[in-house]
Amino acid sequence: VQVNYAELYIRIGKFREAEKMLLETYAACDSLGFLLEKLDASTALYKLYDTIGDARSALKYHVMMSSLQDSINGDAKQQERSRIEMQEELRKVEEEKLAREEKIKAEMDRQGLIRNTLLGGLGVVVLFSIVLFRQNKKVGRARKRAEQSEKFKQRFLANMSHEIRTP
């Protein structure tokens, strides 16, 4: 705001008042670290000294103005670099997260395949056991029948042999 008042003083020819106000503003901005306001004040001081013909002071504030502009641009470039680096880091983190998720999904799919294979194998073993158990039962019954038939045959033959030998 004071820079605007100082520029008004320059337009109406009150150069000393403008200089005093701009120097105070410049010093305050310098002590507080307000770069943009300090740039405005140095630009106004450059214009003031150029207007009144003080080339040495005009050059001094022009150099300060350029230096401040470079500093502000450097800060902006640094912020842009930082923003780009953060975006790149975020992209890498997202890629790593996706890679981990894909790896976890692949592992879960593999474990599911193993589980299903084991369950299928267990089912085959159970079915085979059932079939084997039934076959053993059938074989056991058939053996029992065969043994009983053998007993009946031996008894029959013994009776027949006894009947044939005894009149």
Q: Which two tokens stand for residue 66?
A: 């350029």
The one-letter amino acid code at 84 reads I
- Rounded to an integer, the average pLDDT of 118-128 is 96
What H or E segment, with its residue span, contains residue 8? helix 2-12
Spatial CA neighbour of 63 closest among 51, 55, 75: 55
Confirm if 66 and 85 have CB atoms less than 8 A apart: no
Q: What is the pLDDT of residues 149-160, one digit of tens each?
A: 999 999 999 998
Query: What is the arithmetic mean of pLDDT over 72-81?
Result: 78
Handedness of CA 35, 39, 40, 44 (dihedral sign): positive
Residue 1 reports pLDDT greater than 70: no
> pLDDT for 16-38, tens place per residue?
999 999 999 999 998 998 888 89
Average pLDDT value for residue range 50-65: 92
Q: Predicted confidence band at 162 (pLDDT cuts at 50, 70, 90)?
A: confident
Cα–Cα nearest to 18, from 1, 28, 5, 37: 5
- Residue 77 pLDDT > 80, yes or no? no
d(CA 58, CA 27): 17
